Amino acid sequence: MTMRAVVKGVGHYLPTRVVPNSEFEGKVETSDEWIRARTGIERRHFAADGETTSDLAAHAARAALVDAGLEPADLDAIIVATSTPDLTFPSVATMVQAKIGMTNGFAFDVQAVCAGFVFALANANALILSGQARRVLVIGAETFSRILDFEDRSTCVLFGDGAGALLLEAGEGQGTNADRGILATDLHSDGSYRDLLYVDGGVSTTGAAGHLRMQGNQIFRQAVEKLTETAHAALDKVALNGSDVDWIVPHQANIRIIEGTAKRMQVPMERVVVTVQDHGNTSAASIPLALSVGKARGQIKQGDLLVTEAIGGGLAWGAVVLRW
Ligand code: UT7
């Protein structure tokens, strides 16, 4: 018998305010046509005044618990992937703990920007496989609208707010790639790319939150290559390849990156979960949002082989192979 971290439930939450591309026209020199053609984005959600990352995360957490048929007290741990916490500390994860009424176990945040959910999944998997936790709620939650420079057309049209949550539970498998649960993880980072994507503020520099700065076309150049490599590396670890994949569930930054990666992996777009048109880039929330929406649409079914892959600030990137 082999221990596996198996999906028990999934859920998501999007703030009620929907912002169509047309809202940016007239504020910056852009157009709905440019945004759609270059990114695939049609709309995104922005959090209301006073609505925080932990609020979005707690809604997603409750939805995943309902989906799993479990109570907060059944959890051993919560990991939140976020780069837009409510406060410098305590962690968003402990705030979620309090909001859902969980006083047992432990909770902490992971910060790997857009790759955050993949890093958090790998951490949750390690906690389960090492016997430190049996049930882990892994959340990606962001309010990127709070760090956007609304005078910078090259970034403000790209991002949105939201949260998604995946509940993992220890289960027993046969030790083969036919098992349900997380089968392989592959993580990377290279800090020499720092200046391609960063926020120009922080606690120990300006003392203020700052604004997102990105050399988008430079990231674009890195993205397709690194995402394809990491997805293949994760699949290789369990002797699988693109033709075995039922669904790529990619980080949702740009439809052209998603299409380029799928093409290199020789996976047709019919087997890719795409939500970028409705959510924009929600950083660490984008993959769990896509998992939850993909299941709700009837795309992702039990037994399907999934590959998630993401890249973001750091640079940090990685992939997780799991059977739903
Ligand atoms: O999730 C974290 C990782 N981030 C990403 O994955 C983002 C990766 N990058 C991208 O998605 C794309 O690079 C962008 C969508 C950010 C930009 O698309 P692009 O095709 O790489 O365009 P570009 O940056 O090369 O800019 C082309 C032109 C420029 O004008 P000039 O210099 O050719 O006159 C930009 O100034 O498009 C201009 N431009 C815009 N025009 C209208 C940039 N933003 C806008 C805009 N509206 N919002």
The tens digit of pLDDT for each residue in 220-235 reads 999 999 999 999 999 9
Query: What span, in angstroms and rounded, lies between the C-alpha atoms of 206 and 204?
Result: 7
Residues for the chain: how many in total?
Answer: 324
Topology match between the domains 2-173 and 181-323: yes
CATH number for the domain running over 181-323: 3.40.47.10
Query: What span, in angstroms and rounded, lies between the C-alpha atoms of 265 and 230?
Result: 11
- Give the per-residue pLDDT at 80: 98
C-alpha 141 to ligand 1 mean position (Å): 25
- Best residue among 41, 215, 217, 277 to mutate for probing ligand 1, ranked by most atoms within 8 Å of CB: 217
Q: And the tokens for 301?
A: 């079914």
Q: What is the mean pLDDT of the chain?
A: 98
pLDDT per residue over 169-187, tens digit each? 999 999 999 999 999 999 9
Characterise 291 by phi-psi region: left (phi > 0), alpha (psi -120 to 50), beta (else): alpha
Q: And the tokens for 159?
A: 């991002």
Long-range CB pairs of 39-42 (<8 Å, 24+ gap) are 39/157, 39/158, 39/253, 39/254, 39/255, 39/256, 39/276, 39/280, 40/254, 40/255, 40/256, 40/258, 40/274, 40/276, 40/277, 41/157, 41/158, 41/276, 41/277, 41/280, 41/281, 42/277, 42/278
Instruction: Tell which CATH classification among 3.40.190.180, 1.20.1250.20, 2.60.40.10, 3.40.47.10 matches the domain 2-173.
Output: 3.40.47.10
- Give the per-residue pLDDT at 237: 98
pLDDT band at 194 (very low <50, low <70, confident <90, very high): very high
- Give the per-residue pLDDT at 120: 98
Please return the burial class of 286, using the count of CB atoms within 10 Å of its CB with bins 0-12, 13-18 and 19+.
buried
Domain map of the chain by residue range?
Answer: 2-173, 181-323
At 200, give phi and psi (nearest 5°). Answer: -85, 40
C-alpha 194 to ligand 1 mean position (Å): 19
- For ligand 1, residues with CB inside 6 Å are 30, 34-35, 38-39, 114, 153-154, 157, 216-217, 219-220, 223, 253-254, 257, 281, 311-312
Protein residue with its CA nearest to atom 6 in ligand 1: 253
Question: In this structure, are strands 77-81 and 106-110 parallel, antiparallel, or unpaired?
Answer: parallel
Protein residue with its CA nearest to atom 29 in ligand 1: 154
- Give the per-residue pLDDT at 75: 98
Stated pTM of the model: 0.98
Mean local confidence (pLDDT), 21-36:
97
Mean local confidence (pLDDT), 265-288:
98
Of 45, 59, 211, 251, the catalytic one is: 251
- Best residue among 220, 225, 261, 309 to mutate for probing ligand 1, ranked by most atoms within 8 Å of CB: 220
Protein residue with its CA nearest to atom 39 in ligand 1: 154
C-alpha 159 to ligand 1 mean position (Å): 13
Protein residue with its CA nearest to atom 42 in ligand 1: 30
Mean local confidence (pLDDT), 237-264:
97
**What's the one-letter identity of residue 98?**
A
Percent of the chain with pLDDT over 90: 99
- Give the per-residue pLDDT at 246: 98
251: annotated active-site residue: yes
Mean local confidence (pLDDT), 9-30:
97
- Give the per-residue pLDDT at 95: 98
Contact assessment for residue 138 and residue 165, using Cβ atoms and an 8 Å cutoff: yes
- Give the per-residue pLDDT at 240: 97
pLDDT per residue over 65-107, tens digit each? 999 999 999 999 999 999 999 999 999 999 999 999 999 999 9
Query: What span, in angstroms and rounded, lies between the C-alpha atoms of 53 and 248?
Result: 26
C-alpha 220 to ligand 1 mean position (Å): 9
pLDDT band at 281 (very low <50, low <70, confident <90, very high): very high
- Give the per-residue pLDDT at 117: 98
C-alpha 216 to ligand 1 mean position (Å): 6
pLDDT band at 283 (very low <50, low <70, confident <90, very high): very high
pLDDT band at 39 (very low <50, low <70, confident <90, very high): very high
* SS3 (DSSP) at 111: coil
Please return the burial class of 121, using the count of CB atoms within 10 Å of its CB with bins 0-12, 13-18 and 19+.
buried
Protein residue with its CA nearest to atom 38 in ligand 1: 154
